[in-house]
Structure 1
Amino acid sequence: MTQEVLAERSDLSVRTIRRLETGQSANPQVETVRLLADALRLKPDERAQLLAVAAGQTPPDPPSDNGIPLVSSFERGLAEATDDLAHAVRARWEREEELRRIQDPFPLPVRWQLAPDDVMDHWANICRAAPGESATPLDLAGHLPEIADFYGRIPSGRLVVLGRAGSGKSVLAGRFVLDMLRTRPRAGAVPVVFSLGSWNPTTTGFRDWLAGRLVRDHPGLSATGRDGSTLACALVEAGRILPVLDGFDELAEGLHRAALDALNATTLPLLLTSRPGEYATVARSDALTAAAAVSLTDLTVSDLVNYLPRTSGATGWEPVLNELRDHPEHPASVNLRAVLTTPLMIGLARAIYSDPAGHDPQELLDTDRFDGQYALEDHLLSSFIPTVYRDQPGRRRWDPDGVQRWLRYLARHLNRLGTRDLTWWQLGSTMRPLRRLFVVGLVAGVAFAFAAGLVATLMGGLGFETEAADAFTAGPLDGLAAALAVGLARGVGLAFGGAAIKPFRVQMRLHGGERRLGVRFIRRFMVGVTVGLALAGGLGLAGVLGIHFWIVGKLGPGPWYGVLAGLVIGPLIGLVWGLMARFEAPLDVRTAVNPTDLLTTNRATVIFQSVVLGLVSAVAYGVMAGLMHGARYGLLHGVSYGLVLGLAVGLGVTLSLTAWGQWLALARIWLPLHRRLPWALIAFLDDACQRGVLRHVGAVYQFRHARLHDHLTG
């Protein structure tokens, strides 16, 4: 292959190819190496080796004397991470099937047939035929229990599953993952479900997006190598991930063509699900390269007769099923038959009518009440939530009106964000920025004023009556100052970091933390320096204007003492925060992370860091007071007042600069105060998963059915 041909294939310049071949470019960009790997159509192990060498990692060990290649340490680590990920994915989907009662009493018979030719690629490409050779079309009819074997018969390893809303695409995706994992060889590719609705192919490359989703749902894969790339990136580049892309139709309007072009630029095996209309619109001009396509078929009356009576001990379904079977021409049968053709609607009907204490399913045949298919569907969707939230022994009771109000708020919140993924750290992010600044500052100010009063009381108990009285009086005033400072800090975060701060995906450990601090230390130190400069400028200006803060005034009168406090404490906070990265270890890859686990881990990490930063600020204040007023005053008074300042620093860092602090201020205090969400929010969300309204998807929640989500926003 000439340099010109390789350049054309890879979209790189001939000059870049020449510099790489001659060794003039000794440190190529990762994206450049990826483009070369795609153009050369390297196998997964070859791709991993190329990327490892280009990143400056140790290349694989040379072959042994008998010619058999030895497994390098890089490959061993990758294989171990792959197996750990497979364990976590299997645990998650087995739990998901239990919650959705897929096997109770048996899975609904999801079936498929060959999709129309105009949404499929050529059979020669699907079968990977050599140039000039023809290919025989494959038999693409099948049903759910054989999905893994069916997929294995497709030479290209690329499959598109089309089906209308509620037809069982997500059920098929979950069963595909579990069946593939059962037959997966050690260190083989791991099937992972990715919800496509959050991908913007115009701003994020496909492989980068896959790696980002892996890190979000499996924080242990955020561990970095010497080149700074994550373990998730290495797994994707090495072909150790089999993407199961759920919801092509849920991509934002106008992105379907760009997404399909991005998928066509890769040779990765994958399974893609979509509603037929959205996929056909772009596939008729250029379908997914080398992908076979199938369409899910409707369930039959025989399927209903075999399934619904076995979901209940009562016989209420028999008259309804007899009517469907014996009088298919009656209007009531026509309407109901049009509805009960998908697993979604059958699942809703089961939840509402299969309980002996529930409603009588014969009301579904009432044509005066339900004059058509859509009236029946609206009835099932509207009745589902009140049904699953009715009083049940052993379950927590929720206010029925509150449940509807809270779920509607969550659904509309997701609509405003343009996503199906409900993340706890983004709750409140759709509030107007000024309101968010006000809320965060108000919470911080009240908390600080209370803390200052508490410290003042303790100081009074130790005999510092005058100082205690001053502190108790000045605490609320300094609380207002703290509110302003925290609000402004959050404003800076909004300006530079976007609407929501991402949560930490690490845990604090004395051993096993980050050994190479590098860029993370520098970034954190610079944040501290910036905060210190802002604090010094703000306190100095306040002093010039005649505004004196009680806690700073204890160092000495005049604006220069405020400037000194900021210049000392800010960089010190940055230094300590940067060094704390040494004790931050990635989470265990084998852990099947859910939103509650991630929230708990973040809370522990944030509290630890805030306490450390608060204590460092307290000691720094005490040292400054001692140097200015003598050791006796510094030890006796400086540390006491430093505790108040430490509380302010800890609260400020927590509420303005961390995801958990934002969650605390907005989702746990402000939104419940306004009745948008319940006070016991995590308990409510987890209970909604148990009742079948929501589901866990890695570290986020989703409404279990897109139709239910859309219904709640109406």
Structure 2
Amino acid sequence: MTDQLGPLLRQLRNQAGLTQEAVAERSGVSVRTIRRLESATNIDHRLGTLNLLADALELGPADRELLATMLARAGTPAVAMTQAAPAAPGPTGSASEPPRSPSDRAPVSAPPAAVLAAADALAREARRRWQREEERRQVHDPFPLPLRWRSAPAPLMDYAVNIQRLPPGATAQLDLGGELHSVAEVYRRIRSGRLVILGRAGSGKSILLIRLVLDFLATLSLPDRVPLIFNIGTWDATTTTLREWLIGQLLRDHPHLARRTPDGPTLAAALVDADLILPVLDGFDEIAEGLRRDALEALNATSLPLVLTSRRDEYADAVRGVGAPLNWAAGIELVDLTLDDLRAYLPRTARPAGRDETVAGWEPVLEQLRTRQSPAGGVLTKVLTTPLMVALARTMYSEAPGRDPAELLDSVRFPSVESIEKHLLAGFVSAVYRPWVPERNAGGSRSRNGNWNPQRAGHWLGFLAHQLMRPNQPRRDLAWWQLGDSLRRSTRIAAVTVASALCIAGATWTIGLVTAQADRGQVLLEGAMMGLSAGLAFGTVYAAIIAFGGTFQPAHVRLRLRRGRSGRVRPPARAFTLRFAVVLLGGFVMGVGCACAIAVVRARYWDIPLTSPEAIRAALINMLVFGLIFGLAVGLVFGLLAALEVPVDVSFAATPVHLLSANRTTVGQQVLILAPALALTIAFGGRLVVNLLQGPLGPLSWELPDALIIGAAGGLGSALSYAFCFTAWGQWVILCRVWLPLTGRLPWNTIAFLEHAYHRGVLRQSGAVYQFRHFRLQEHINHSYRER
């Protein structure tokens, strides 16, 4: 049991809010010894050492008894441990051990190795991601803005004794003061692990969260909780529990967590259930107004350690609606930047080599703000009190050559705070998309996507922002597979109909011309008729799917016939049944269209009138036979495809580009499986159907050469139609790479534009989706787009 004692000691230290260095200073035990004990590499558990650690951690009777039990299981007498002196009074003056809720203590047994490995991988990925984000935000260039905060108003935070989880009769004084570099230290002083960060738009909440996560990860030692930032604005507490939502966000951002553990649940579920995730919930104010009260009540129903950010007014309204703030939660509120902060920061951002010598820079502007020589200076002072506005001013005037910040003091042009903010937000896009020379790649050529026209880039960004600002429920997540949802339903159905018609017609033409079974004119006519009928069939199926709320998410699956340990839970038969039923209808309609095409070809090339009794009887029989052949074949194949889908068992960094690439690969694999499977099923399954119907319908012909040609054309065309019309990648291609660029709402190379916006700081990445750098920027760009 020695392998469990180390995690227990680490857990108790984390609950006390102490670092290894702090415990070493209190106990007199060296940091190296503490590190070896917690990592279970030291199996010589001396009672004296452990007693010193227990005293330093101020453990109560319950924790000492648990530690004694672990020592006994390890083969060490525990008498000295159980008889140790009670914990000394802490800073609060109470000698009693604060009660701990069940959620504050992780299980005694260590999580499985696979779960710990997944947590370690998440921690590394989070560290890399947010370090890159800090670099792109230029947080440390030339130095971090001095973010400060004060304790939130008393009505918006719980009592100090509740926050510190103290017993009845205890008293507490909670010190929450600090600056950006000490945010992790302040959080560790909160015994409940629950913190609410309040601030107005652009006040630096996101920067504070990033620094909290990075500082926390710097000293992380598993099984400590891994802090991960989630945008809580997408959570609907009335339909989804917090646990389910967290698991869903993990699966979206990290698809490899869909692998199953030996015990059955996915890695994402195992991480949440093992209490290895510290949710850092950003944007409570972005939840729909009618859902905020339910969200706060759902959070109050848990004791899960978490960090929550929100604008003050929106959070205060939710607190008034519930009648209480977040249980056990401390609260801090970011304060404005001061004029001294601006005088220390802005001049150092305008490097001499990057400015025109005729431009004076920030010094004259800041001097006017200090002396308050004009009303315009007072207006500008009010604007430059948030990190967002300071960052926008820096981008427009410190980094753009030839721009003089003195124009911000023009009281005629900028008479109010709102006018200056609008100017800075509007000029941000122009400044970011100013012309620049792209770097040469390894081959010596320059990228063609290095420059984007500022006006057109602003228009495209406005369209993207407009898709996120839905009435009563604005979103932050810009997912590439959801961009096509902005189009009208009729437009999407028409696009799918045309795409599927072209796929079937192209496949029929290709197979017909390669096999040369008929003259070219007959092949072209057959392909056109087949494409028309198939387009109507697939368009009907697509309309039925979206009418019932169906969506096409990226496929985080691969296909394999043999299941390993991770696939113990078989896919339900319901998946096969639903897929079979829906596709059977489309396949039958496609077969009917094939029969109609054959009738038209016979009338054109065999001189058989369509109105003759023989032609009508033959057409009706062919409609039934071809409908059954195509319907049963595609229903069976697509149903089995659903049964063979299992979670991907490879790990990769979930970025939008990687997810798009992975989804494209998955769709390609599906086409390679579907095309031959459908071709063979149509060819040989058709023989079985024909044999069964020979008696009731009379003599029927289904020769093998013709059957293989029909099967090849139908299989290839159906597989391509499925790929382009019923997968997330296919919808991306036909809607976002063709239709939206044709109508001017997006550029032709959309993903390159999104990546460029990400690298230039307009967008940020959150797992597999993009987000605008600031919600305030998203709101302004959407407003400007609607005005145009």
| 1:613-653 deviation line (CA, Å, top 9, x unaligned) | 111111223325677699x9855443333221112211232
Taking a change above 3 Å as real, the CA distance of residues 204 and 70 of structure 1, as seen in their structure-2 partners, is closer
Question: Are 2:380 and 2:409, in contact at CA under 8 Å, matched by a contact in 1?
Answer: yes
Residue 540 of structure 2 corresponds to residue 479 of structure 1: no
| Equivalent position amino acid for 1:606 in 2 | V
Instruction: Sort the Cα spacing of 1:608 and 1:550 in 2 relative to 1 into closer, same or farther, 3 A.
Output: farther
Encode CA deviations 1:459-487: one digit per residue, 9 max, x unaligned: 33xxx343x54222221221111211221
Q: Which residue of 2 aligns with 1:26?
A: none
1:381-435 Cα deviation digits (max 9, x unpaired): 0111011101011171223332122111111111137311111111121322222
Correspondences of 1:99-498 after superposition (within 5 Å): 99-135=136-172, 137-225=173-261, 229-284=265-320, 285-314=323-352, 316-325=361-370, 327-328=371-372, 330-355=374-399, 357-394=401-438, 396-416=450-470, 418-460=474-516, 464-466=517-519, 468-498=520-550
* 2:744 aligned partner: 675
CA deviation vs aligned residue, 1:99-141 (integer Å, no higher than 9, x gap): 2121222211111111111211111101111023222x21211
Distance 2:251 2:73 in 1: 34
User: Are positions 1:703 and 2:772 aligned together?
Assistant: yes
Q: Counterpart of 1:596 in structure 2: which amino acid?
A: V
Task: Identify the residue that residue 445 of structure 2 maps to in structure 1.
Answer: none
Pick closer, same or farther for the CA change 1:540–1:343 going to 2, 3 Å: closer
Instruction: Summarize deviations over 1:301-357 as a string: whole Å, max 9, x none.
Output: 1211211122222351121122222x1252121011101111100100111101252
CA distance in 2: counterparts of 1:143 and 1:133, whole angstroms: 29
Looking at structure 2, the residues matched to 324 and 278 of structure 1 have their Cα atoms a distance apart, in angstroms, of 32
Q: Distance in 1 between matches of 2:723 and 2:384?
A: 51
Is contact 2:392–2:428 with CA below 8 Å preserved after alignment?
yes
Partner SS for 1:113 = strand
Mapping 1:51-90, distance limit 5 Å? 75-90=112-127
Equivalent position amino acid for 1:350 in 2:
R
Q: CA deviation at 1:655?
A: 3.0
Alpha-carbon distance change, 525 to 312 in structure 1, aligned in 2, over 3 angstroms: same
- 1:536–1:259 distance in 2 versus 1, CA, 3 Å: closer
- Does structure 1 residue 502 correspond to structure 2 residue 563? no
Partner of 1:16: none
Superposed, which structure 2 residues align to 1:539-554 within 5 Å? Answer: 548=599
CA distance in 2, matches of 1:211, 1:641: 45
- How many angstroms apart in 1 are the aligned matches of 2:377 and 2:136? 31
Query: Which of 725, 745, 756 is matched with 1:656 structurally?
Result: 725
Out of 107, 114, 131, which is 1:94 matched to?
A: 131
The answer as to whether partners of 1:119 and 1:280 remain within 8 angstroms in 2 is yes
Local SS of the residue matching 1:254? helix
C-alpha distance in 2, partners of 1:97/1:506?
A: 33
**1:610 Cα deviation from its structure 2 partner:** 2.1
TM superposition shift of 1:674? 0.8
In structure 2, what is the Cα distance between the partners aligned to 1:526 and 1:84? 38
Letter in 2 for 1:474: E
Alignment partner of 1:520: what SS? coil
Q: Counterpart amino acid of 1:427?
A: L
Q: C-alpha displacement at 1:440, in angstroms?
A: 1.3
Give the one of 571, 580, 589 matched to 2:644: 580
**Structure 2 unpaired stretches of 5+:** 1-71, 79-105, 353-359, 439-448, 603-614, 692-698, 784-788
- Equivalent in the alignment of 2:58: none
Check conservation: 2:587, 2:635, Cα contact below 8 A.
no
Which whole-Å CA distance do the structure 2 matches of 1:567 and 1:442 have between them? Answer: 21
Q: Structure 2: how far apart are the matches of 1:355 and 1:575? A: 57
Q: Distance in 2 between matches of 1:118 and 1:275?
A: 15
User: Structure 2: how far apart are the matches of 1:546 and 1:604?
Assistant: 34
Mapped to 2, the partners of 1:291 and 1:225 lie a distance apart of 33
Paired position in structure 2 for 1:37: none
Judged with a 3 Å threshold, the aligned counterparts in structure 2 of structure 1 residues 122 and 521 are, in CA distance, closer, same or farther, namely: closer
Alpha-carbon contact 2:148-2:334 (below 8 Å) kept: yes
- Provide the secondary structure at the position in 2 that maps to 1:236: helix
**Counterparts in 2 of 1:599-638, with a 5 A limit?**
599-624=660-685, 636-638=705-707
What is the CA–CA distance in structure 2 between the aligned matches of 1:308 and 1:509, rounded to whole Å?
58
- Select between 286-295 and 90-99 the one with higher mean Cα deviation: 90-99
What amino acid maps onto 1:286 in structure 2? A
Aligned residues: 642
**What residue in structure 2 maps to residue 27 of structure 1?**
none
TM-score (normalizing by structure 2):
0.76
User: Judging changes above 3 Å, is the alpha-carbon distance between structure 1 residues 550 and 351 closer, same or farther for their aligned structure 2 residues?
Assistant: farther
Alignment match, 2:623 = 559
- State the Cα deviation string for residues 566-600 of structure 1 (Å, max 9, x = none): 34313431354145325x52341xx3311111111
Q: 1:75 offset after TM fit, Å?
A: 2.6
8 Å CA contact retained: 1:120, 1:283:
no
> Equivalent residue of 2:333, what SS?
strand
Preserved contact between residue 160 and residue 272 of structure 1 (Cα < 8 Å): yes
Query: Helix, strand or coil: the match of 1:140?
Result: coil
Normalising by structure 1, report the TM-score.
0.84
Match of 2:576 in 1: 525
Pairwise CA RMSD: 3.1
Q: Secondary structure at the match of 1:191?
A: strand
Between structure 1 and structure 2, the one with the greater Rg is 2
Match of 2:339, as an amino acid?
Answer: V
C-alpha distance in structure 2 between counterparts of 1:390 and 1:122, whole Å = 51
> Which shows bigger deviation, 153-162 or 310-319?
310-319
Which piece of structure 1 moves more, 661-670 or 651-660? 651-660
Letter in 1 for 2:463: Y
Instruction: Return the letter of the residue paired with 2:237.
Output: P
Distance in 2 between residues matched to 1:681 and 1:655, nearest whole Å:
17
Q: Which deviates further from its counterpart, 659-668 or 648-657?
A: 648-657
Q: Which stretch shifts more, 303-312 or 226-235? A: 226-235
Give the CA deviation at 1:496.
3.8
Looking at structure 2, the residues matched to 201 and 286 of structure 1 have their Cα atoms a distance apart, in angstroms, of 17
Cα distance change of structure 1 residues 515 and 525 upon mapping to structure 2, 3 Å threshold:
farther
Tell me, what secondary structure is at the counterpart of 1:220? Answer: helix
Alignment CA distance shift 1:489-1:514 (3 Å): farther
- The farther-off stretch of 141-150 and 557-566 is 557-566
| Distance in 2 of aligned mates of 1:196 and 1:502 | 20
* Cα offset, 1:300, TM superposition: 1.2
**Does the residue aligned with 1:187 lie in a helix, a strand or coil?**
coil
Deviations 1:254-287 (A, max 9, x none): 2121111111110011111111111112325301
Q: Secondary structure at the match of 1:421?
A: coil
**Which amino acid letter does the alignment assign opposite residue 710 of structure 2?**
Y
